[in-house]
Amino acid sequence: MSKDKREKEPLFSAKNRKLLINPLHKDNPITTQVLGICSALAVTAKIKPAFVMTLSVIAVLGFANVIVSILRHGIPPRIRIIVQLVVIASLVILVDQVLKAFVFDVSKQLSVFVGLIITNCIIMGRLEAFALGNKPWPSFLDGIGNAFGYGWILIVVAFFREFLGSGTIWDYPVMEQLGVYNFGYQNNGFMILPPMALIIVGIIIWVQRSKDKSLVEEN
């Protein structure tokens, strides 16, 4: 690519903005690329862990993209996967330590899933598809954008699952305050189970595609 052209590009050019915005909707990692589903099912029973998970993924993906982008000319192509893994793993360990130090209870709830960020397909996918071929700043935007795209789905799913399944929002007993239990209302136990997360993700995809027909595949 022509270097002189790139250097004149402003920080938030239309192209860079697209890197940040597209993954939120049209190119969403979960609903369009269908990546990172496993953790979306596992950590969305409550909003709090989902939120912490989102922050962790934003930190890991943002920095991993930048680091790999900086190293991209020095990484021999044949061992690039292992190099990427080392980068991701170091960042995940950092995040894990921070969580353990400051929000221990949430860290316990997330248990192995923080460690499993390493295997989150979104992260490897972005490193392979974007950071290896682009400069640090666009890579950073791409990483943050995809992590946010992943995160907002996570939080929406977690909101419905916590609200309907446990009757709380961010551990605040909303349903109890509303007093609906007195009318015979009960929490929906199915919401706590992982299949329901899949169904909610499915509903989000349904809504998204009926709003934006360009996402519907031809078959």
Partner 1 sequence: MKAIRKILDNIKPHVQKGGKFEMFHSAFDAVETLLFVPDHVTTKGSHIRDGVDMKRTMTVVILALLPTLIFGMWNVGRLHFLSHGETFEIMDAFWYGFLKVLPIIIVTYVVGLGLEIIFAQQRGHEVNEGFLVSGMLIPLTLPPDIPLWMVAIATAFAVIIGKEVFGGTGMNILNPALTARAFLFFAYPADMSGDKVWISEKADAFSGATPLGDALVGNFENIPSPMEMFIGTIPGSIGETSTLLITFGAIILLVTGVGSWRILLSTVVGALVMGGLFNLWGENAYMDMPAYYHLILGGFAFGAVFMATDPVTASQTNRGKYIYGFLIGFIAVLIRVFNPAYPEGMMLAILFMNVFAPLIDHYVIEANIKKRLKRAKA
Q: Mask: binding to partner 1, 139-178, rule CB under 8 A, as x and -? A: ----------------------------------------
CB-wise, 169 or 192, nearer to partner 1?
192
Binding-site member from 22, 90, 188, 208 for partner 1 (CB under 8 A)? 188
Residues near 36 by Cβ (< 8 Å), separated by ≥ 6?
29, 30, 120, 121, 122, 150
Measured from the CB of residue 194, what is the shortest distance to partner 1 in angstroms? 11
Q: Is 77 in the site for partner 1 (CB under 8 A)?
A: no
Buried b (16+ CB within 10 A) or exposed e, 46-85: bbbbbbbbbbbbbbbbbbbbbbbbebbeebeeeebeebbe
CB-wise, 34 or 81, nearer to partner 1?
34
Measured from the CB of residue 111, what is the shortest distance to partner 1 in angstroms? 23
For partner 1, the binding residues in 190-219 under the rule CB under 8 A are 190-191, 193, 199, 202-203, 206
Binding site for partner 1 (CB under 8 A): 184-186, 188-191, 193, 199, 202-203, 206
